[in-house]
Structure 1
């Protein structure tokens, strides 16, 4: 097969495609990753073939959703939803569809890439709807590759149900899809928003499934880029090592008898986590899933942007860490919470790691992708 990954043009979204891309290459398939020229280095350093798209587009304009006027009145720009709850789902769905439109400038180049290379399968970021349209034009099978909870499918389901009950409800998705489909004369199909199927690497317990979507689950494999291992990471730390994502965390924790490593140290998590006694962060999917896979206890102060609160709930449920309300995260509370993590959560984190290790890995997903591609591909 020829498999094209369409990655959202920021490094944090480009990195998660690597483990599955490696598995496909190791199985003998051809793999390329389409992303913005400014992200090509991250792709090629992972040993993958990069295809630059959006060469005339300003990267910040594509990725900074806060520049979108539709998002400007929303504090923090968060698109999170509670598990099974979201009283303002309509407003969040509207903001999500406005975010979809940001990547429209990539449509022509993505379509050209799929058609010229004769891609068999396109795996695309949930926000990269132009990749789904490109796959449809080129006759390729296509699926979404998640990097967090499936808030998009959940919100889309709520919108569709509401539209059935209120036919006059103005569906905000229509305008975005019309702009993408008109150049090719294509009719709308739900798979262009939700994929023909969806690959979900999130740990069980924070997955958010939507009716009518076929999910193929896979184990999260941490990857955050390569690099030279710093001298201090080449042996065991003399004191408990704690990685803290944020200057505020770093300063608050320095009074404890621990070694604090901050984000300014620029060490890939995949190198750092095995030597850590704990991590402190806001609950982002990449850090949460990577720490869980490494068996490292966590202290989460969730900032509700996507699935952070769900991650905090699952962490506590597994006994693998502590969640602290951001409104109560003063320095003394942070230090007390971290003490609890270091003293009480090691066994829970280790047990969770063993549980996650039994999930199917990327190599086990490859035969599933082969069968689904054969079924959905339009020759």
Structure 2
């Protein structure tokens, strides 16, 4: 079977999909990965065929920032900002710009199924126009249907506009894929790497059983790219003096925010723990001159190489960092900075696998408090319950179906849709 995968060209969106693509290839299926020109190197590095579509992500992101400057967004709540970014940035700009190229790939390559990655909707648009079945992969907590509705309405508008311009396949467009024959675009399965123990409570307004969530059919998928693997202990841990080590990171997209990472590191001075902080491929370790000998500042080290050797993670509540930590049974201290990080931080606290160091809004202005980080760190390290709960969630993640099993389910689903 031919399986086409699409993703925003951002590492945190690409990485969750690659084990699934690799598993599909290893099971004998034809695979093709479509992402922006600045992201194709990720699948290509694993020997996976890839095609570039649309502009570099930085161009789309720049257009969004110019169209909606900070002053326009200032009055929005954290949730409203996430929805605004999804609708006006990731769909109306990024997906619309990428969709034309993805449509051509779908028409030429003729996949049996499209798997669209986290917050990626160009693949959905192309599949709906071509009448190809599709599913989505997610990487964060489930969202309510009410939250997601404006985004799906924006996708439908793009699909409808392209059909009206002759971009579909006439009467067949959308059949079996959603968006046609009266079927809603979002009524498709979603692959979920988020563990059950960290999902929002069913009593959350707008959520819960009976269709209150964005996707009513969610298929669990183990986050294979984040689960523990045996490996050699990195040399950067050599000669660190203390028994326990804290990993400090702002992920791949926020490391250069002025003052935030510095505050997190400074909060741990004098706490008798080793500190390993990563500043990203474009970061400058010179920002951290004069650190004590128990602090290591590194540019970029894959977190899967670090997490087996640390005891706690201080971070921005990015999905990949949080899931990586709990997959290793590590508690967290989180200070959300943007997008869905506020929601993820709320689930960290609700599941009692960590604590919130700061509401997040102040961090955007460089106002994160070292005292708040230090207090949260001391609270988490002083209560073994956080580590015990993280170990429970780690067990949940390990027990989720692996990529190979999910590929088999996807293939069966595509076969049913084609013959429906």
TM range (shorter): 0.7 to 0.9
Pair 1:182–1:271, CA change in 2 (3 A): farther
**Structure with greater proportional helix content:** 1
Aligned residue number for residue 255 of structure 2: none
The farther-off stretch of 285-294 and 143-152 is 143-152
User: Cα RMSD (Å) of the superposition?
Assistant: 3.5
The farther-off stretch of 335-344 and 12-21 is 335-344
Aligned residue number for residue 41 of structure 1: 41
Please point out which of 217, 220, 245 is paired with 2:220: 217
Please point out which of 377, 382, 390 is paired with 1:349: 390
For structure 2, the residue ranges without an aligned partner over 5 or more in a row are: 201-206, 250-260, 280-297
How far is 1:213 from its partner? 3.4
The farther-off stretch of 172-181 and 4-13 is 172-181
Aligned residue number for residue 27 of structure 1: 27
Please point out which of 242, 251, 260 is paired with 2:246: 242
Aligned residue number for residue 53 of structure 2: 53
Report 1:144-183 matches (<5 A).
Answer: 144-151=136-143, 153-157=145-149, 175-183=157-165
Aligned residue number for residue 295 of structure 2: none
Equivalent residues of 1:61, 1:67 under 8 A apart: no
State how many pairs are aligned: 356
Partner Cα separation in structure 1 for residue 406 and residue 58 of structure 2: 34
For structure 1, the residue ranges without an aligned partner over 5 or more in a row are: 82-87, 161-170
Please point out which of 322, 326, 333 is paired with 1:288: 322
Please point out which of 304, 308, 315 is paired with 1:274: 308
How far is 1:349 from its partner? 1.9
Pair 1:212–1:361, CA change in 2 (3 A): closer
Partner Cα separation in structure 2 for residue 268 and residue 77 of structure 1: 34
TM-score normalised by L of structure 1: 0.80
Partner Cα separation in structure 2 for residue 235 and residue 25 of structure 1: 42
Q: Deviations over 1:232-260 (max 9, x none)?
A: 25899853221112332123223322221
Q: Does 1:74 align with 2:54?
A: no
Q: Secondary structure at the match of 2:276?
A: strand
Equivalent residues of 1:110, 1:134 under 8 A apart: yes
Partner Cα separation in structure 1 for residue 143 and residue 392 of structure 2: 28
The farther-off stretch of 105-114 and 193-202 is 193-202
Equivalent residues of 1:66, 1:77 under 8 A apart: no
Aligned residue number for residue 114 of structure 1: 106
How far is 1:350 from its partner? 1.9
TM-score normalised by L of structure 2: 0.73
How far is 1:221 from its partner? 2.5
Aligned residue number for residue 199 of structure 2: 206
The farther-off stretch of 192-201 and 359-368 is 192-201
Partner Cα separation in structure 1 for residue 34 and residue 199 of structure 2: 28
The farther-off stretch of 8-17 and 314-323 is 314-323
Q: Does 1:101 align with 2:92?
A: yes
Partner Cα separation in structure 1 for residue 347 and residue 114 of structure 2: 31
Q: Does 1:18 align with 2:13?
A: no
Pair 1:378–1:97, CA change in 2 (3 A): farther
Pair 1:228–1:247, CA change in 2 (3 A): farther
Please point out which of 358, 372, 377 is paired with 1:333: 372
Equivalent residues of 2:334, 2:357 under 8 A apart: yes
